[in-house]
């Protein structure tokens, strides 16, 4: 029987975070705590729009408060680099409504 879900296995890996306000931030997980507060290094935001392809905004070192996190996804880096994000159009994600 494995333990509960933890972010331990994702440390030093590239992760994709979806925040409650619908933003998508990609970076390297450096740390986390019980409340899912996380530290991201070399992070950038992927801005989705229907008018143009995905824009990448460089953010650098970021701390995201756990309250504001919806999903932490493990990025498959080979798959990620093979995708043509700059030509991908989509609506931004909706914010979380509690």
Partner 1 sequence: MLFFSYFKELVGREVTVELKNDLAIRGTLHSVDQYLNIKLENTRVVDQEKYPHMMSVRNCFIRGSVVRYVQLPPEGVDVELLHDATRREARGG
Distance from CA of residue 80 to its chain's centroid? 13
The 10 Å Cβ neighbour count of residue 64 is 20
The 10 Å Cβ neighbour count of residue 31 is 12
Does position 3 interact with partner 1 (CB under 8 A)? The reply is yes
- Residue 58 CB, nearest approach to partner 1 (Å): 19
- Residue 51 CB, nearest approach to partner 1 (Å): 16
Q: Considering only CA atoms, give the Rg of the chain.
A: 14
CB 75 within 8 A of CB 10: no
Of the candidate residues 49, 55, 71, 86, the single one contacting partner 1 (CB under 8 A):
71
Residues in contact with partner 1 by CB under 8 A are 1-5, 7, 10, 16, 18, 20, 22, 24, 36, 46, 48, 66-67, 69-77, 79-80, 83, 88, 90-91, 93-98
């Amino acid at each position: 029987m494995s333990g509960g879900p933890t972010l331990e296995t994702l440390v030093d890996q590239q992760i994709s975070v979806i925040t409650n306000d619908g933003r998508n931030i990609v970076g390297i997980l450096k740390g986390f705590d019980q409340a899912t507060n996380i530290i991201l290094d070399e992070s950038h935001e992927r801005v989705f729009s229907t008018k143009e392809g995905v824009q990448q905004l460089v953010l650098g070192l970021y701390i995201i408060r756990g309250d504001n996190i919806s999903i932490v996804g493990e990025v498959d880096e080979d798959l990620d680099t093979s995708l043509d994000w700059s030509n991908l159009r989509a609506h931004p994600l909706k914010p979380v409504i509690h």
